[in-house]
């Protein structure tokens, strides 16, 4: 089996590659080749005996997508995209990468005669826009309030039409906020959800810009990779025509996040969180979904962590080698 991953150098792309290398198989078939593409070169995966093609470039550039699928990868994990904040600041870049890039990939697949790969697309809960019901049902309309969310919702519609036409076997997963996101703090409005766990666990202070009562839905990077792999195994019959769906996650308040941190790492670690209310962040976060039903995902066998304690523990295991500072 030959697997193409777009956005392979990103956080989820790297973790997905590592997991696939460790598994050695996808859907019971041995993986013998990876094609890893991104705007910067992905690292060669350690411990993989098969072939690895690493390429860099703009998926929306003429011929780029055709070149990537010339060797007809059996499964394509399409993770590439510019993030929410960047798509909001740079209108042209957001549409170019997130919409035109996706469309170019789908068109390249359509034009390859007799080719019908599995395409697993990472969408986002940014496809939803307030006001919301108590919990967002699977049948809720997509009314994004960002250009990023718009581009993801459009890509979902394209994927569904190409799937319906028989050009590919598609599935789209709407990721909740990924927490705990490893790495340095960044300027994303959602950054604090990870920061208030990651920074204290590493011995650093973290800023909490919103109230303890803010409620949100989270899944660990490990769970996100699990969603992608599970999605790749679903059949057309299982999915039906509505191929994009919300993923499960842990729904909790910031207070509950902090309680989990204190339970696992002690009150001294939890005390490293400093409350500095930020009006702008509070206003942005107020427009985000709090709770998702994700009934179809549960029925289709997607699983996430059962509570926030498990999310904290996954971070300590996967990123800190089991050690707390």
Q: What values do phi and psi take at 229, rounded to 5?
A: -70, -40
40's enclosing H/E stretch is none
- Of 45-53, 159-167, 195-203, 304-312, which segment contacts its own copies by CB under 8 A? 159-167
- x/- mask, its own copies, residues 83-122, rule CB under 8 A, reads --------x------------------x------------
Cβ 128 to its own copies shortest distance, Å: 10
Toward its own copies, which CB reaches closer, 165 or 184? Answer: 165
Give the DSSP letter of residue 100: I
Distances (CA, A) of 31 to 106, 193, 300: 23, 35, 24
Cβ 129 to its own copies shortest distance, Å: 7
242 binds its own copies (CB under 8 A): yes
Among 41, 89, 157, 286, binds its own copies (CB under 8 A): 157
153 binds its own copies (CB under 8 A): yes
| 144 touches 128 (CB < 8 A) | yes
Distances (CA, A) of 282 to 55, 118, 125: 40, 39, 18
Catalytic annotation on 162?
Answer: no
Residue reference for tokens 């300590």: 316
279 binds its own copies (CB under 8 A): no
Toward its own copies, which CB reaches closer, 78 or 315? Answer: 78
Toward its own copies, which CB reaches closer, 149 or 195? Answer: 149
Cβ 151 to its own copies shortest distance, Å: 8
- Of 117-125, 149-157, 213-221, 308-316, which segment contacts its own copies by CB under 8 A? 149-157
165 binds its own copies (CB under 8 A): yes
161 binds its own copies (CB under 8 A): yes
| 107 touches 119 (CB < 8 A) | no
Buried b (16+ CB within 10 A) or exposed e, 257-296: bbbbbbebbeeebbebbeeeeeeebeebbeebbbbbbbeb
Among 60, 119, 126, 154, binds its own copies (CB under 8 A): 154
| 251 touches 317 (CB < 8 A) | no
User: Does residue 135 sit in helix, strand or coil?
Assistant: coil
Instruction: Give CA–CA dist 119/236, Å, rounded.
Output: 12
Size of the site for its own copies (CB under 8 A): 24
For the annotated catalytic residues, the residue numbers are 148
Write out the residues near its own copies by the rule CB under 8 A.
91, 110, 129, 133, 138-145, 147, 150, 153-154, 157-158, 160-161, 164-165, 241-242
């Amino acid at each position: 089996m030959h697997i193409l991953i777009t956005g392979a150098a990103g956080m989820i792309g790297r973790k997905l590659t590592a997991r696939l290398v460790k598994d050695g198989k996808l859907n019971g078939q041995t993986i013998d080749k990876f094609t890893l593409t991104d705007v910067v070169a992905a690292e060669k995966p350690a411990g993989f005996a098969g072939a690895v093609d690493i390429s860099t470039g703009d998926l929306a550039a003429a011929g780029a997508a055709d070149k990537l699928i010339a060797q007809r990868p059996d499964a394509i994990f399409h993770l590439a995209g510019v993030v929410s904040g960047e798509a909001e600041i740079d209108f042209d870049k957001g549409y170019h990468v997130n919409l035109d890039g996706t469309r170019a990939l789908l068109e390249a697949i359509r034009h390859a005669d007799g080719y019908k790969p599995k395409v697993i697309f990472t969408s986002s809960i940014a496809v939803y826009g307030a006001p919301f019901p108590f919990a967002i049902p699977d049948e809720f309309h997509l009314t994004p309030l960002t250009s990023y969310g718009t581009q993801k919702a459009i890509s979902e519609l394209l994927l569904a039409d190409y799937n319906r036409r028989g050009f590919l076997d598609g599935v789209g997963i709407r990721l909740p906020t990924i927490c705990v996101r490893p790495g340095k703090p960044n300027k994303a409005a959602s950054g604090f959800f990870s920061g208030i766990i990651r920074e204290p666990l590493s011995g650093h202070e973290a800023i909490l810009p919103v109230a303890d009562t803010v409620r949100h839905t989270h899944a660990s990077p490990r769970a996100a990779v699990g969603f992608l792999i599970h999605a790749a195994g679903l059949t057309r019959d299982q999915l039906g025509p509505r191929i994009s769906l919300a993923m499960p996650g842990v729904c909790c308040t910031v207070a509950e996040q902090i309680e989990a941190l204190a339970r696992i790492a002690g009150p001294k670690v939890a005390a490293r969180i400093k409350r500095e209310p930020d009006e702008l962040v509070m206003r942005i976060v107020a427009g985000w979904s709090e709770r998702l039903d994700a009934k179809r995902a549960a029925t289709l066998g997607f699983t996430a962590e059962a509570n926030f304690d498990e999310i904290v523990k996954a971070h300590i295991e996967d990123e800190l080698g089991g050690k707390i500072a």
